[in-house]
Chains A and B, each alone.
Chain A
Amino acid sequence: MATQQTQLLARTLLTPAVALLFIWMIVPLALTIYFATLHYNLLDPGSETFVGLENFRYFLTDPAFLASLQNTLVLVGSVLAITILLGVPLALLLDQQVVGLSIVRLMVIAPFFVMPTVSALVWKNLLMHPVSGLFAWIAHLFGLPAIDWFNDAPLFSVILIVAWQWLPFATLILLTALQSLDEEQKEAAEMDGASAVSTFIYITLPHLARPITVVILIETIFLLTVFAEIFVTTGGGPGLQTTNIAFLIYSQALIQYDVGSASAGGLVAVVLANIVAFFLVRIVGRNLEA
């Protein structure tokens, strides 16, 4: 297979694709690094000057940075917890034989196909709206005052929306894993006298360790950069309560027009994402080893 000719051929044929990918990645990165060292404000074009690491100092000492870092971590952690803690029982339910299962499965999976912007708008205007929303109507039925979700619990509301979107993904991955669990193993546990709960704890849950790891890793990558849901619902507010790192960078660049500081923020975000990835792989990546 790997003779010298085939290796040469493979390299030659791969080169254009690899080169394109490389350029695609390196040009934006290089420009971002370049911009991060400039005083570059869109309101004052043509006045770019080299300022060294000044933008980084500005971004990192901004009180908004620590607040948004905390919001990012809370958002990622909460959504992960909700999707897995609800995803496992949901997957167990969907693994049962019931009438109309295919329709139920379709409905469970549907939220994943709704665009983040659309689902955020639906939640904001049809469900959580304090005057015309469904939740307010339900609260009135019980004689309770309506909750003004985005004012009273803004971060929690965003977490709810994002978790609703990602729950199907977790459920789907866990469901396929459940279906690959050897039937004879469950029967062996039954013969061994294990109750349903013991079978779940000793047989099913260890079997799910790997797919749960996959869910955590993939979701983390996407949850670190949640943007549309925040932009559409709260706009990062009230104050900084729902601003995460991605939204903070956006506001630096396109609300304050400070391209230099936004670029510095972008590079900080890259480093942060890598730190998170490093610890994640350390903590949960063990499960991926065969």
Chain B
Amino acid sequence: MGQITLQGVQKSFGPVHIIKGADLDIADGSFVVFVGPSGCGKTTLLRLIAGLEDVTGGAILIDGRNVVDVPPAKRGLSMVFQSYALYPHMSVRGNIAFGLKMAGIAKDEINRKVEAAAATLNLTPYLDRKPRELSGGQRQRVAIGRAIVREPKAFLFDEPLSNLDAALRVQMRLEVTRLQKQLATTAIYVTHDQVEAMTMADKIVVLNAGKIEQYGSPLELYEKPANLFVAGFIGSPKMNFVTGEPAKQQGAATVGVRPEHLKVERNGQGGWPGTVSVAEHLGSDTFLYVDAGPLGMLTARYVGELGLSPGDKVSLIPDPARIHRFDDSGKSIHA
């Protein structure tokens, strides 16, 4: 079991409020990603759950028990650190076994568990190596091995893939997701990369300046962002925001349209006219950065190739069903 509930969790460092009251319900077995820009408090929130920081206020419940005063090791969670934090003088076996050894488990049982974990992570040939003799991806797997071998109630991941190169990151992303599904253990994963968040999560928590902006499934966040911040943060390239006359027509202070929901027409009529200033040709897609005069710079995504080059006149026609409307305070207006 690994059901985690946060009730009004607050954290201040002196006069600085890092977490301004977080309420959250994480179901057993789900994969929850904390995402947000740097400094939004996502790592702090994870460390509060881990017990590496003390809360200033509120309660953290694991399986219904308030663990605010329980030391980290007794909370039954395990953590994968950004720097991996492997013990450099111990072999891979020693690293994975350390937590079990500290728990006073019998030697042969430790060996059995370590070997099972190593087999799951394809680490068996490296069990007797030192961390410095491993590649980045292998170190990452050792760090994960150290976490899974303790059979925790939940895994906590603190930006574990940020030190890997792009190709390896995609591969590890898949491996972590698959492993989590296979073990069916609750996981909380911190990242600033919204692609990682969208691809891995069952549910995403979008954090901004110490507040939870929205909590929902990736598609909910994409289709029904609660406010301007979430709308701008989720999705790549970023959503276009337009204020002024076109917004007023829709009865909103701001309207937002994702680049993929703008139809591009060469010399077209209607919609929002503009001039292509930059065209990025990816083959499969074309990203157009269009100078739309009073509406500002708009980004449009066209699937395939349209043969446009800078200076060409285009017209951007928003998909009426996919226009997001926001009020003065930035909140979403749902019809």
Contact = CB atoms under 8 A, between A and B. Distances in A.
B98 interface: yes
Contact of B85 (A182, A198, A202, A206): A182
A184 B72 contact: no
Nearest to B52: A187
A207 B87 CA distance: 9
Given A190-B73, A192-B146, A182 B102 contact: no
Given A187-B52, A190-B73, A191-B73, A207 B89 contact: yes
Contacts of A203: 87
Contacts of B21: none
Contacts of A185: 85-87
B76 to A, nearest CB: 10
Contact of B73 (A182, A193, A209): A193
Contacts of B98: 189, 192, 194, 202
Contacts of A188: 79, 81, 85-87, 146
Contact of B72 (A182, A190, A198, A206): A190
Given A182-B83, A185-B85, A191 B78 contact: yes
B50 interface: yes
Given A198-B102, A202-B98, A192 B85 contact: no
Nearest to A198: B102
B82 A192 contact: no
A203 B88 CA distance: 9
B185 to A, nearest CB: 15
A192 B102 contact: yes
Contacts of A184: 81-83, 85
Contacts of A191: 50, 52, 72-73, 77-79, 99
Interface string A22-57: 000000000000000000000000000000000000
A203 B50 CA distance: 20
Interface string B214-246: 000000000000000000000000000000000
Interface in B91-147: 98-99, 102-103, 146
Interface string B178-206: 00000000000000000000000000000
A191 B77 CA distance: 8
Contacts of B150: 192
A195 B99 CA distance: 11
B130 to A, nearest CB: 11
The main secondary structure of chain B at its interface with chain A is loop
A32 to B, nearest CB: 44
B256 to A, nearest CB: 39
Interface residues of B, number: 24
Interface in B50-79: 50, 52, 71-74, 77-79
Interface in B139-175: 146, 150
A193 B87 CA distance: 14
A23 to B, nearest CB: 44
Contacts of A187: 52, 72, 79, 81, 85
A265 to B, nearest CB: 43
Contacts of B73: 190-194
A28 B258 CA distance: 84
Contacts of A198: 102
Interface in A185-225: 185, 187-195, 198, 202-203, 206-207, 209
Interface string B247-267: 000000000000000000000
A72 B216 CA distance: 74
A189 B150 CA distance: 13
Contacts of B86: 185, 188
B89 A190 contact: no
A193 B83 contact: no
B64 to A, nearest CB: 22
A209 B89 CA distance: 10
A187 B143 CA distance: 13
Nearest to B152: A191
B273 to A, nearest CB: 54
A187 B156 CA distance: 13
A207 B86 CA distance: 12
A207 B88 CA distance: 9
A41 B62 CA distance: 87
A226 B102 CA distance: 45
B87 A202 contact: yes
A192 B99 contact: yes
Contacts of B88: 207
Given A182-B85, A188-B85, A202-B98, A193 B103 contact: yes
A185 B83 CA distance: 9
A193 B52 contact: no
Nearest to A192: B99
Contacts of B90: 202
A190 to B, nearest CB: 5
Contacts of A182: 83, 85
A68 to B, nearest CB: 40
6 contacts: A184-B85, A187-B52, A187-B72, A191-B99, A193-B99, A206-B87
The 3 closest A-B pairs by CB, nearest first: A193-B73, A192-B99, A184-B85
Given A184-B83, A185-B86, A191-B50, 5 more contacts: A185-B87, A188-B79, A189-B98, A190-B71, A198-B102
